[in-house]
Chain A
Amino acid sequence: MSGKGVLRSVKNYAKGYSDIQIKVREATSNDSWGPSGTLMNEIANATHNPQDFLEIMDMIDKRLNDKGKNWRHVFKALTVLDYCLHVGSENVVLYAKENAYVVKTLREFQHIDDGGRDVGGNVRQKAKDISSLLMDDARLKEERSSRTQMRDRMAGVDNI
Chain B
Amino acid sequence: MSYLSSDKAEAELAQSIKKATSPDETAPKQKHIRRCIVYTWDHHSSALIWSGLKVQPILADEVQTFKALIMVHKILKDGHPVVLKDGLRETAWIETCSRSVAGDGSRGYGSLIRNYVELLLHKLNYHRQHPEFNGTFEYEEYISLKNIDDPNEGYETISDLMSLQDRIDSFQKRVFAHFRPSSNNECRIAALVPLVEESYGIYKFITSMLRAMHRRTDAVDALSELRARYNSQHYALLRFYYECSNLRYLTSLISVPKLPQDPPSLIDSDTPSLP
Q: Do A and B come from one complex?
A: yes
Residues of A within 8 A of B (CB): 58, 61-62, 65, 67-68, 99, 101-102, 104-110, 118
B31 contact from A68, A99, A102, A118, Cβ within 8 A: A68
Measured in the bound complex, the distance between the Cα atoms of B4 and A62 in whole Å is 10
Chain B residue nearest to A101 (CB atoms) is: B41
Secondary structure call for the B interface = helix
Query: Which 10 pairs, one residue from A and one from B, show the smallest C-beta to C-beta distance?
Result: A101-B41, A105-B34, A108-B30, A99-B1, A105-B37, A110-B30, A61-B1, A108-B253, A105-B38, A68-B31
Known: A61-B1, A109-B31. 17 other contacts (CB 8 A): A58-B3, A61-B3, A62-B3, A65-B38, A99-B1, A99-B41, A101-B78, A102-B41, A105-B34, A105-B37, A105-B38, A106-B34, A108-B34, A108-B193, A108-B254, A110-B29, A110-B30
Residues of chain B from 206 to 241 with CB closer than 8 A to chain A in the complex: none
Residues of B within 8 A of A (CB): 1, 3, 29-31, 34, 37-38, 41, 78, 80, 193, 252-254
Chain A residue nearest to B136 (CB atoms) is: A104
Shortest Cβ distance from residue A35 to the other chain B in the assembled complex, whole angstroms: 22
Most buried by A among B1, B37, B193, B253: B1
Secondary structure call for the A interface = helix
Chain B residue nearest to A62 (CB atoms) is: B3
Q: Which residues of B contact A65 (CB under 8 A)?
A: 38
Q: Which residues of B contact A107 (CB under 8 A)?
A: 254
Q: Which residues of A contact B34 (CB under 8 A)?
A: 105-106, 108-109
Q: Which residues of A contact B37 (CB under 8 A)?
A: 101, 105
Chain B residue nearest to A58 (CB atoms) is: B3
Measured in the bound complex, the distance between the Cα atoms of B155 and A37 in whole Å is 53
Chain A residue nearest to B41 (CB atoms) is: A101
Measured in the bound complex, the distance between the Cα atoms of B31 and A109 in whole Å is 7
Measured in the bound complex, the distance between the Cα atoms of B83 and A129 in whole Å is 26
Shortest Cβ distance from residue B268 to the other chain A in the assembled complex, whole angstroms: 25
Q: A110 near B41 (CB under 8 angstroms)?
A: no
Q: B252 near A105 (CB under 8 angstroms)?
A: no
Measured in the bound complex, the distance between the Cα atoms of B35 and A68 in whole Å is 13
Shortest Cβ distance from residue A51 to the other chain B in the assembled complex, whole angstroms: 16
Q: B38 near A101 (CB under 8 angstroms)?
A: yes
User: Given the interface contacts A62-B3, A108-B193, A118-B252, does A102 sit within 8 Å of B38 by beta carbon?
Assistant: yes
Chain A residue nearest to B79 (CB atoms) is: A101
Measured in the bound complex, the distance between the Cα atoms of B167 and A22 in whole Å is 52
Measured in the bound complex, the distance between the Cα atoms of B41 and A65 in whole Å is 14
Shortest Cβ distance from residue A109 to the other chain B in the assembled complex, whole angstroms: 7
Shortest Cβ distance from residue A143 to the other chain B in the assembled complex, whole angstroms: 20
Q: Which residues of B contact A110 (CB under 8 A)?
A: 29-31, 253
User: Given the interface contacts A65-B38, A108-B254, A110-B253, does A102 sit within 8 Å of B30 by beta carbon?
Assistant: no
Q: Which residues of B contact A118 (CB under 8 A)?
A: 252
B1 contact from A67, A68, A102, Cβ within 8 A: A102
Measured in the bound complex, the distance between the Cα atoms of B78 and A105 in whole Å is 8
Measured in the bound complex, the distance between the Cα atoms of B253 and A109 in whole Å is 8
Q: B31 near A67 (CB under 8 angstroms)?
A: yes
Measured in the bound complex, the distance between the Cα atoms of B33 and A101 in whole Å is 13
